[in-house]
Amino acid sequence: MRIYISADIEGVAGVVNPQHGAMGNAEYERARRLMTQEVNAAIAGAFAGGATEVLVNDSHGDMRNLLPDELDERAELIIGKPKPLNMFEGLTPDHAGIICLGYHARARAPGILAHTVNGFAFGRIHLNGLELGEAGLYGAYAGSIGVPVILLTGDDCLQSETKDLFPDALYAVVKQSLGQRAARNLAPERARALIRAKSEEAVRGAGGMKPFRLDGPYRLEVEFNTPALCDLAAVIPVATRLDAVTIALEPSSTEHAVRWINTLSALSAILR
């Protein structure tokens, strides 16, 4: 049984500040080690639950945060970017389930370090009328190839936001949000123990979990944080500008919706 882990950092126990996710400071070095340890807990749980293969994809920032020399040697690791499917690169239909580790709530919602894909660029993203964060957007892509999200780890706001999208999935809530940059956290050892236990349980039950699916035709609406960012996106010939900060696209699939979002994210760097 093949299990896929997509690892972000904002939902890791002890992570509460943008410095924790930004290279070049001691707080980041501490956070990336905590991230790696939580991934190891999920890997251990997955193998205990019956996994025969685990693939981990580093899904935060420039996607070279996990410490390869400290990762459980039984797993394989994807690091670096750009890569075609970004946070779910390497996912294939023969994976039995996905663990979204260290995930967070969507932009403009309560939750620790809440944002959607690119905090500088995006205010809200709707796909077929649903406002979705990273878990929902990538979960919809996974559903399109028949793979369910079986476990999400992060704060309580992530759970409340996504439980209707993934009603069969398990959750490891490792911290309670007290605001955008403050949380009541489990101690790292307790967080890892919880993740390991939930990972084992989720993998054992993966066969009974249903994927999150969105049927076409597809409409993607992206609200930017400034009109200047929307000016930039509106140059794309297939984009329709809806107002000062919003464009609409009509992707042919959820995969193409994800690719458009990542393209727009990369394009926004011009205005940083």
Domain carrying residue 38: 2-114+147-208
Provide the token pair at 135: 């878990």
Whether 39 maps to a domain, the answer reads yes
What's the pLDDT score for residue 128? 98
Would residue 41 count as lying in a domain? yes
Residue-level pLDDT, tens digit, the chain, 272 residues: 999 999 999 999 999 999 999 999 999 999 999 999 999 999 999 999 999 999 999 999 999 999 999 999 999 999 999 999 999 999 999 999 999 999 999 999 999 999 999 999 999 999 999 999 999 999 999 999 999 999 999 999 999 999 999 999 999 999 999 999 999 999 999 999 999 999 999 999 999 999 999 999 999 999 999 999 999 999 999 999 999 999 999 999 999 999 999 999 999 999 99
* Residue 56 main-chain phi, psi, to 5 deg: -110, 130
Is 265 inside a domain boundary?
no
7 found inside a domain: yes
Query: Rounded to whole angstroms, how far apart are CA atoms 249 and 241?
Result: 9
Q: Is residue 24 part of a domain?
A: yes
pLDDT value of residue 149: 98
Q: Please report whether residue 222 resides in a domain.
A: no
| Residue 95 is among the residues annotated as catalytic for this protein | no
Task: Supply 84's token pair.
Answer: 């075609």
Catalytic pick from 95, 115, 126, 256? 115
What is the number of structural domains in the chain? 1
Nearest to 221 by CA among 207, 234, 210: 234
- CATH number of the domain to which 38 belongs: 3.40.50.10780
**What DSSP line would sit under 90-159, residue for residue?**
T--TTEEEEEEES--PPTTSSSTT--SS-TTTEEEEEETTEE--HHHHHHHHHHHTT--EEEEEEEHHHH
Of 143, 115, 113, 118, whose CA–CA distance to 128 is shortest? 143
pTM, two decimals, is: 0.97
Q: Which helix (H) or strand (E) holds 179?
A: strand 170-179
> What is each CA distance from 126 to 71, 79, 130, 148, in whole angstroms?
35, 28, 5, 21
Is residue 158 domain-resident?
yes
Domain membership flag for residue 259? no
Contact 98, 148 (CB under 8 A): yes
Distance (Å, rounded) from C-alpha 208 to C-alpha 199? 15
Give me the sign of the Cα torsion angle 161, 164, 165, 166.
positive
DSSP category for residue 210: P
